[in-house]
């Protein structure tokens, strides 16, 4: 009896000593705990999401940590499929809603494991939140310090937050393998879905791999076995009915990267991991319009900084991209016939607001980040001439003003003999005076140079600079393409001819919100006055003339769209280094540029290509599809303009001539035998 009492005393003393020792150890290891308030201040690196103008998903911009992209987007409980949520909770912590941060069953098991030297076990959803946030530096350490700190902080976390808040934290901080963090990233990485669309079977798959996602991703057979156990457990404990469980088991779950085959009973017959990288989300993960997305990323980083773009829960970015127009632009680019080695850029923007509706920055190379639409600063060739003539119209000229097409000479110290003798593209001259309108119809260089010289090259240079052209020196050469501009800026400048005279600032983003829905940026149109409404409309009239006046001889006949009135101008630089077509119509200003990245001369079928052959068909293919079903009629003239039919060559009124707009009181006077000017809109352009 004494021996028994002695042994009992020894056991009790040992137990109390062990408890006291364990208690002291716990105290020592938990004296320096992180402040739980840090959870409120915690900045999670997060994915910023981009949306098209119809609110469809366009792209995701991931942050980069330690050289790799991390995809994490915050998700609310209300945004998660209830079936997937049930699968996760049952798998990870089925008593989550009944314990206080520590599961007594798991805790006893963990303590027993610790006494045996195994530091695993005892994990709950609450402790996993702690491990992946406040104790992230110790997450991989199997030490008593981590365990005791987890448990202490878990109790405090449960005291301060509701179960729903803790569960939501868990869904946003748990790593799911590859570069996916949080349920939203996992749903996209493994199934290409939003969490709200996850099925019970998919939720079971994600629940089965989360303890060791990288290893279990490669073992689909083992994961299926785990899913079966979870389903049986959920049925046994009343979480789901047998019928629901059976339907989930028969669902043919196919994670990204796997080629699988099931029978009708849900048995996995074949499974092959064909693309292990399929679940890895890229730093820029776009559905389409890659160059547009990269331009939006550049804007966001410049305006908000990388910390704001990728941290603090990420951003919701509503862009200006029109998916219908973008697909039309991409189809036109894909079907384009280009010179050897040439690249292409297409831009379409709203002429009223400057919103970029479609953009193609290149077509030759996959993964090419060089955006020719916004970065290719090239000479526009004859596409600059409408601006030269618009300056002349502003200074009292009309479309019927006569300009010479004959050899001209101008002093130029940069030339060998100190004289510049510009030439037409063809090398020939009409050797007579012709109307300004006819000079543009034929895209003659000498009349444009003469016009710039007559109205003042400084005036022309100033207006071109205001329109977005880069003018290095105000020389007469800028009148025929000596300035430089990008395709995007040329589209923004051409908008002035159909919006009443304003150059619009291109916009890629309409609104930016933070993770809490607060508006950080709201776009507003930025417009710079270039011309009066009367001059701008006469410029539009000139552009229409370039497309329609000469019928089948017209240089832009390939841009005509049945049922739609369009206007535009081609441009070809020396040795065909750049080919352009800039065009406008109701609701759209669009530009097509073709050229080589190395700026070498282009050849097509062994010959020097012309912009009149290459570019208008591409432009037409884009615009016709982009504006299908939208109004296509002419634009109404502003007050003060009248239409008169005139002879293109002489500028005299002629009943068989083309309809041309003039300021009231400045229209050409008819000979006595010619009918008086007609007022109002001209007959519809064919």
Helical residues (DSSP H) of 348-444, grouped into ranges: 372-375, 385-394, 436-441
Q: Cα separation of 224 and 426, whole Å?
A: 74
What are the backbone dihedrals phi and psi of residue 57, each rounded to the nearest 5 degrees, phi first? Answer: -65, 130
CA angle, corner 569, sides to 551 and 593, nearest 5? 125
Report the SS3 class of residue 238.
coil
Residue with tokens 């996992």: 186
Mean pLDDT of the chain: 87
The CA R_g of the chain, rounded to the nearest whole Å, is 35
E strands in 43-108: 48-51, 57-61, 63-65, 68-70
What are the backbone dihedrals phi and psi of residue 218, each rounded to the nearest 5 degrees, phi first? Answer: -80, 0
Mean pLDDT, range 515-524, rounded to an integer: 91
Mean pLDDT, range 211-228, rounded to an integer: 94
Distances (CA, A) of 320 to 53, 332, 358, 472, 506: 5, 20, 9, 32, 10
Range among 58-62, 191-195, 426-430, 592-596 rated most confident: 592-596
pLDDT of residue 344: 96
pLDDT at 138 over 60: no
Q: Cα separation of 512 and 317, whole Å?
A: 5
pLDDT of residue 287: 74
What are the backbone dihedrals phi and psi of residue 120, each rounded to the nearest 5 degrees, phi first? Answer: -95, 165
pLDDT of residue 679: 45
Mean pLDDT, range 222-231, rounded to an integer: 95
Distances (CA, A) of 46 to 43, 306, 606: 9, 11, 52
Q: Cα separation of 434 and 422, whole Å?
A: 17
Beta strands at 258-262 and 268-273: parallel, antiparallel or unpaired: antiparallel
Lowest mean pLDDT among 72-76, 101-105, 351-355: 101-105
What is the 8-class DSSP label of residue 412?
Answer: -
Better-scored residue on pLDDT, 354 or 671? 354
Mean pLDDT, range 447-455, rounded to an integer: 97
- 531 and 390 in contact (C-beta within 8 Å)? yes
Q: Cα separation of 300 and 509, whole Å?
A: 9
What is the 8-class DSSP label of residue 641?
Answer: E
Count H helices and E strands in the chain, helices first. Answer: 23, 23
Lowest mean pLDDT among 88-92, 449-453, 672-676: 672-676
Q: pLDDT tens digits for 526-547?
A: 999 999 999 999 999 999 999 9
Structure tokens at 545: 């003339």
Q: Which residues contact 182 (CB under 8 A, 6 or more apart)?
A: 72, 73, 74, 75, 171, 172, 173, 174, 176
pLDDT of residue 313: 64
pLDDT of residue 381: 96
- 286 and 58 in contact (C-beta within 8 Å)? yes
Q: How confident is the model at residue 354 (pLDDT cuts 50, 70, 90)?
A: very high
pLDDT of residue 367: 72
Q: How confident is the model at residue 680 (pLDDT cuts 50, 70, 90)?
A: very low
Distances (CA, A) of 646 to 110, 439, 551: 96, 14, 16
pLDDT at 684 over 70: no
Q: pLDDT tens digits for 157-214?
A: 888 888 898 899 899 889 999 888 899 889 989 998 999 999 999 999 999 999 999 9
Distances (CA, A) of 40 to 20, 74, 128: 35, 14, 17
Query: What DSSP string describes 254-298?
Result: --TTEEEEE-TTS-EEEEEE--TTTTPPPSEEESS-HHHHHHHHH
Report the SS3 class of residue 591.
strand
DSSP bridge partners of 571: 580
pLDDT at 234 over 60: yes
- 440 and 546 in contact (C-beta within 8 Å)? yes
- 210 and 178 in contact (C-beta within 8 Å)? no
Q: pLDDT tens digits for 429-445?
A: 999 999 999 999 999 99
- 201 and 253 in contact (C-beta within 8 Å)? yes
- 220 and 253 in contact (C-beta within 8 Å)? no
pLDDT of residue 220: 95
pLDDT of residue 187: 94
Q: Cα separation of 660 and 393, whole Å?
A: 13
Q: What percent of the chain has pLDDT over 90?
A: 66
Nearest of 493, 530, 535 to residue 351 by alpha carbon: 493
pLDDT of residue 427: 87
Q: How confident is the model at residue 257 (pLDDT cuts 50, 70, 90)?
A: very high
Range 326-329, long-range pairs (CB < 8 A, 24+ positions): 326/52, 326/288, 326/289, 326/292, 326/357, 326/358, 326/359, 327/288, 328/358, 328/621, 328/622, 328/623, 328/625, 328/626, 329/358, 329/359, 329/360, 329/622, 329/626
- 630 and 587 in contact (C-beta within 8 Å)? yes
């Amino acid at each position: 009896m004494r021996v028994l009492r002695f042994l009992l005393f020894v056991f009790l003393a040992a137990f109390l000593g062990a408890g006291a020792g364990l208690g002291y150890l716990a105290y020592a290891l938990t004296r320096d705990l992180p402040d739980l308030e840090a959870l409120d201040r915690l900045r999670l690196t997060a994915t910023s999401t981009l949306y098209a103008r119809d609110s469809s998903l366009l792209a995701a911009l991931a942050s980069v940590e330690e050289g790799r992209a991390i995809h994490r987007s915050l998700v609310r409980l209300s945004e998660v499929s209830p079936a997937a949520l049930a699968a996760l909770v049952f798998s990870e912590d089925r008593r989550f809603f009944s314990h206080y941060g520590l599961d007594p069953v798991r805790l006893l098991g963990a303590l027993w494991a610790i006494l045996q030297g195994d530091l695993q076990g005892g994990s709950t959803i609450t402790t996993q939140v702690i491990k992946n946030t406040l104790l992230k530096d110790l997450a991989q350490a199997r030490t008593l310090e981590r365990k005791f700190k987890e448990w202490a902080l878990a109790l405090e976390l449960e005291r301060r937050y509701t179960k729903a808040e803790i569960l939501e934290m868990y869904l946003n901080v748990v790593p799911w393998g590859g570069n996916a963090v949080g349920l939203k990233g996992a749903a996209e990485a493994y199934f290409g879905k939003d969490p709200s669309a996850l099925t019970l079977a998919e939720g079971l798959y994600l629940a089965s791999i989360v303890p060791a996602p990288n290893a279990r991703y490669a073992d689909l057979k083992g994961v299926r076995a785990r899913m079966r156990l979870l389903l049986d457990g959920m049925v046994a404990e009343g979480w789901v009915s047998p019928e629901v469980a059976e339907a989930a088991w028969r669902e043919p779950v196919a994670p990204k990267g796997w080629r699988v085959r099931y029978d009708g009973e849900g048995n996995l017959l074949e499974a092959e991991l064909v693309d292990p990288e399929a679940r890895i989300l890229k730093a820029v993960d776009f559905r389409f319009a890659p160059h547009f997305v990269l331009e939006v990323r550049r804007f966001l980083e410049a305006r908000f900084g990388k910390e704001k773009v990728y941290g603090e829960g990420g951003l919701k970015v509503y862009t200006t991209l029109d998916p219908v127009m973008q697909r039309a632009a991409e189809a036109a680019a894909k079907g384009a016939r280009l010179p050897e080695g040439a690249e292409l850029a297409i831009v379409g923007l709203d002429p009223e607001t400057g919103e970029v509706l479609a953009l193609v920055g290149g077509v030759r190379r996959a993964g090419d980040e060089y955006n020719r639409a916004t970065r290719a600063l090239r000479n526009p060739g004859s596409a600059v001439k409408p601006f030269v003539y618009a300056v002349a119209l502003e200074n009292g000229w009309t479309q019927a003003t006569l300009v010479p097409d004959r050899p001209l000479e101008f002093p130029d110290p940069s030339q060998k003999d100190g004289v510049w003798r510009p030439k037409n593209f063809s090398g020939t001259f009409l050797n007579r005076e012709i109307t300004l309108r006819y000079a543009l119809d034929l895209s003659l260089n000498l009349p444009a140079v003469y016009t710039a010289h007559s109205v003042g090259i400084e005036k022309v240079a100033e207006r071109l600079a205001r329109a977005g052209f880069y003018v290095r020196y105000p020389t007469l050469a800028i009148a025929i393409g000596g300035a430089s501009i990008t395709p995007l800026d040329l589209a923004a400048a051409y908008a002035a001819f159909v919006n009443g005279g304003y150059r619009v600032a291109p916009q890629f983003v309409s609104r930016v919100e933070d993770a809490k829905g607060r508006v950080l940026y709201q776009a507003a149109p930025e417009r710079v006055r270039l011309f009066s409404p009367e001059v701008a409309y006469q410029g539009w009239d000139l552009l229409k003339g370039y497309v329609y006046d000469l019928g089948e001889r017209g240089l832009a006949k390939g841009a005509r769209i049945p049922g739609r009135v369009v206007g535009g101008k081609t441009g070809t630089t020396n040795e065909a280094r750049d080919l352009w077509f800039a065009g406008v119509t109701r609701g759209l200003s669009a530009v097509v540029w073709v050229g080589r990245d190395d700026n070498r001369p282009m050849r097509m079928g062994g010959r020097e290509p012309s912009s009149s052959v290459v570019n208008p068909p591409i432009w037409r293919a884009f615009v016709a599809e982009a504006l299908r079903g939208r109004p296509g009629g002419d634009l109404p003239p502003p007050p003060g303009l009248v239409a008169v039919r005139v002879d293109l060559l002489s500028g005299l009124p002629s009943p068989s001539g083309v309809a041309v707009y003039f300021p009231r009181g400045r229209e050409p006077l008819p000979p006595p035998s010619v009918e008086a000017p007609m007022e109002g809109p001209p007959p519809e352009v064919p």
